[in-house]
Amino acid sequence: MQRISKELGKQLKSKAKLKGLTQGDISRMLKVGQATVSRIFNGNTQISLENYLILCHELGLDPNDVSIEKTEQKEGYRTIPEYNVRVSAGHGEFQGIEEIKQNLQMPKMFLPENGQVGFVRVEGDSMTPTIAHGDYVAVEFDSGYTSDGLYLIRIDDAVFVKRLQRKFGGVRIISDNQQYEEMNVSPDDGNDFGLIGRVALVIRKT
C-alpha cells in the first residue's frame, strides 16, 4: 500500500479534470467505488501500488512522485489507517471519512486479504452487546453487500454501524440493543440509503 498526500491528491484531481475524466471514469478504471476515488483526490489516504501505477499511467504522471509516502510494514502485518471520525450506533451524525489520524499495524490473519480497510470509532449503545460505546471497527470499504451482517451505512446525512438483513423489496436495519426499534429501507420510502462498507473486525475499548 502507498499513502497519498493531500498535495498529490490535488495533483491527481487536476490531471483528471484536464483529461476530462470524471470520478466515475476513474472508478471504473481502477475497479473501485466512487467514494474511494473521492478519498484519493482529497489525499491523506492509501492506495494499492497497482492502482497507483494505473492512475499515474492514465494521467501522465511520474509514479515516483516525491509526494507519495511509503509505509513500512512488518511481515505478516497489514498497515490500516484509523480515520479521525466517529460514527454512531444510535442517532448518527454525518462527519465524512476523509482524514487519517494514524496508521496501525494489524495481523493480516484478522483482516480481509484485499480491498481498502480502515478503522473508525463507534459511539452510542444501540449495538451492545456486540459493539460497545468507544469500540473501534475495521471497515472494508466498497465491499458491497456480501451477506447479512454488520455494515457501516449512510441514511440521508447520518452515518451508522448497524446489522443489515435483506428482505423482499428492501433491507432491515437492526440494532442489537433491543431497546432500539428496527428500521426498514426500500426504494420507495424516500430515504437516501448508502452502503459504505462491511464491518470486518470489532476492537474492544480497553
Q: So what's the pLDDT on residue 186?
A: 77
Q: Are residues 26 and 99 both part of a single domain?
A: no
Specify the amino acid at residue 81: P
Give residue 59's domain range.
2-70
Q: Are residues 34 and 85 both part of a single domain?
A: no
Q: So what's the pLDDT on residue 205?
A: 75
97: CATH? 2.10.109.10
Q: Are residues 87 and 160 both part of a single domain?
A: yes
Q: So what's the pLDDT on residue 188?
A: 65
Q: Are residues 63 and 102 both part of a single domain?
A: no
Which residues does the chain have with pLDDT short of 70? 1, 63-73, 84-86, 89-100, 187-191, 206
Q: Are residues 137 and 185 both part of a single domain?
A: yes
Q: Are residues 61 and 26 both part of a single domain?
A: yes
Q: How far apart are CA 180 and CA 122, in angstroms?
A: 16
Set of cell numbers at residue 78: 497489514
Q: Pick from 51, 52, 43, 48: which is nearest to 10 by CA? A: 43
Q: So what's the pLDDT on residue 164?
A: 94
Q: Are residues 37 and 125 both part of a single domain?
A: no
Out of 44, 70, 96, a domain closes at: 70
Out of 70, 103, 120, a domain closes at: 70
Q: Are residues 83 and 122 both part of a single domain?
A: yes
Q: Are residues 114 and 194 both part of a single domain?
A: yes
Q: So what's the pLDDT on residue 199?
A: 93
Q: Are residues 45 and 81 both part of a single domain?
A: no
Q: Are residues 147 and 180 both part of a single domain?
A: yes
Q: So what's the pLDDT on residue 66?
A: 43
Claim: this prediction has a pTM higher than 0.75: no
14: CATH? 1.10.260.40
Q: Are residues 66 and 92 both part of a single domain?
A: no
